Amino acid sequence: MAHKGAIENSPLQVYASALLFSPASSLVRRHFKDEEPQWITIKPSNVTGDQWSACLSTLEGHSESVWSVAFSHDSARLASASGDKTVKIWDPSSSTCLLTLEGHSDTVFSVAFSHDSAQLASASVDKTVKIWDVSSGACLSTLEGHSDTVRSVAFSHDSARLASASDDRTVKVWDPSSGACLSPLEGHSEWVGSVAFSHDSAQLASASGDGTIKIWDPSSGACLSTLEGHSGSVSSVAFSHDSARLASASEDKTVKIWDPSSGACLLTLEGHSYWVSSMAFSHDSAQLASASANNTVKIWDPSSGACLSTLEGHSDWVRSMAFSHGSARLASASDDKTVKIWDPSSGACLQTLNVGRTLHGISFDRTDSYLYTETGTISLGNPADSIVALNNAEVQQPQYKGVALSSDRIWITYNSKMLVWLPSEYRSSCSAVSDNTIGVGVGSGRVWFVSTS
């Protein structure tokens, strides 16, 4: 009996999970059709097919692991990248596969939508980047020129340029409309692992294993400056939101603040006892957070270089950070499976949320009352209520707003209440949540959706 475990452990799931994940033409599905939960507006009928089968799927097509899923900026489309060399574009509202983008000859590692959601870029081990028309699926151009794996791609904020970073030690700037390579940016002597456009799209920074950062004019391809000073590989770069400063994180345990216009190193921020893996500027550009492999986060004043506070409390690597839009709070996600909310001014830990898994992408909503994650939207309460720190020893269970995935990936929840039990074939290896829709990539290489009313 396919749903024996769910019914034994949670008998009421016979009216939700057991019906929802039974084949559309099965006797039990047809006989009890009126008992199906009405609050699920998109039912994964394509996953189960018409008859009972050992192979269950929502949207068939990928034959190997799904490496990543990403919503377009208007939330109307979802793209998935797979080891089967294809990219798929899905309609989250109908759970249908709109397009299968074929053309890569090796694993597709990542995908990125343009900020106007009109185009999609895909980067592959086959040394190419492809630009796709999101509406038609047409391959607008194949960007050839790299001689090794393309690790990352980034659209400029005005969607007029695309940058790609490769193990071949180069960065290339492309016109995503024509597919023309506008500028091959050469000069690094080791792999290039990170690229970032300034928020005004006027400059491009690249970080390399050779220990340098280069600032480029993405229009002309001119190298405006080479920023030297790190004694180890540079893992990431980030522009401040006003584009006036550039921060770099390195394996040499330091963060450096640069003037991207002159190339001058304004400050070297020392204090981490292990290599620095990531950084984030506050939205007012007045603070910088850096995370290290020694489980700590430091808050810096990027103008003076003063360390305002050291945030200690995580027991494992900090993977992701985000400032609230008002810059009054900082969220950090760690391999210790918690998210902590901090007051960056005082260094006080306001909340510790036991999310039960490592989160790699977190961000605040514009009201600073919710935290967006790949598993759901966490309610943080009124920002004004977080003036006084809670007992840091008190670990709280997060309260999710709307649909989400449970930390053990076994349940779809609604407002943190268990709603639909997921059979093992449907449990996530990666996921994305947008409003009332969940997109899930599973280990078999398939992607499925559920949307609620």
With CA atoms as reference, report the closest residue to 89 among 49, 120, 129, 128. 120
What does DSSP assign to residue 14? G
When comparing pLDDT for 84 and 25, which is higher? 84
Query: Is residue 319 over pLDDT 60?
Result: yes
What's the CA gap between 281 and 289, in Å, rounded? 6
Query: Is residue 320 over pLDDT 90?
Result: no
| Confidence band for 14, pLDDT divided at 50, 70 and 90 | low
Indicate the pTM of the whole model. Answer: 0.64
- What tens digit of pLDDT does each residue of 152-200 get? 888 898 888 999 999 999 999 988 878 888 888 999 999 998 888 998 8
Calculate mean pLDDT across residues 208-218: 93
Query: Is residue 392 over pLDDT 50?
Result: no
Question: How confident is the model at residue 51, as a pLDDT?
Answer: 57
Query: Is residue 215 over pLDDT 50?
Result: yes
Calculate mean pLDDT across residues 15-42: 72
- What tens digit of pLDDT does each residue of 51-61 get? 554 333 334 46
| Confidence band for 390, pLDDT divided at 50, 70 and 90 | very low
| Confidence band for 81, pLDDT divided at 50, 70 and 90 | confident
| Confidence band for 104, pLDDT divided at 50, 70 and 90 | very high
Question: How confident is the model at residue 391, as a pLDDT?
Answer: 44
Domain boundaries, given as residue ranges, for the chain:
4-48
Query: Is residue 4 over pLDDT 80?
Result: no
| Confidence band for 266, pLDDT divided at 50, 70 and 90 | very high
Least confident of 27-41, 223-237, 422-436: 27-41
223-227 sheet: strands from edge to edge: 192-197, 204-208, 213-216, 223-227
Question: How confident is the model at residue 3, as a pLDDT?
Answer: 58
Calculate mean pLDDT across residues 399-409: 89
Q: Over the Cα atoms of the chain, what is R_g?
A: 23
Q: Write out 235-294 in H/E/C secondary structure.
A: EEEEECCCCCCEEEEECCCCEEEECCCCCCEEEEECCCCCCEEEEEECCCCCCEEEEECC
> DSSP per residue over 121-157, as a string?
EEEETTS-EEEEETTT--EEEEE---SS-EEEEEE-T
Calculate mean pLDDT across residues 57-86: 74
What share of the chain has pLDDT > 90, as a percent? 30
| Confidence band for 299, pLDDT divided at 50, 70 and 90 | very high
Question: How confident is the model at residue 48, as a pLDDT?
Answer: 44
What share of the chain has pLDDT > 70, as a percent? 87
Query: Is residue 70 over pLDDT 90?
Result: no
Three-class SS state of 327:
coil
**How many residues does this entry show for the chain?**
453
Question: How confident is the model at residue 268, as a pLDDT?
Answer: 95
Least confident of 281-290, 387-396, 399-408, 438-447: 387-396
Three-class SS state of 108:
strand
162-166 sheet: strands from edge to edge: 150-155, 162-166, 171-174, 181-185
Query: Is residue 377 over pLDDT 50?
Result: yes
- What tens digit of pLDDT does each residue of 121-140 get? 998 999 999 989 898 999 88
Query: Is residue 13 over pLDDT 80?
Result: no
Query: Is residue 5 over pLDDT 80?
Result: no
- CA dihedral for 63, 65, 67, 70, sign (positive or negative): positive
Question: How confident is the model at residue 301, as a pLDDT?
Answer: 93
The β-bridge partners of 373 are: 376
What's the CA gap between 188 and 178, in Å, rounded? 26
Query: Is residue 427 over pLDDT 60?
Result: yes
Task: Look at strands 363-364 and 370-373 and give their pairing.
Answer: antiparallel
Query: Is residue 42 over pLDDT 80?
Result: no
318-323 sheet: strands from edge to edge: 318-323, 330-334, 338-342, 349-354
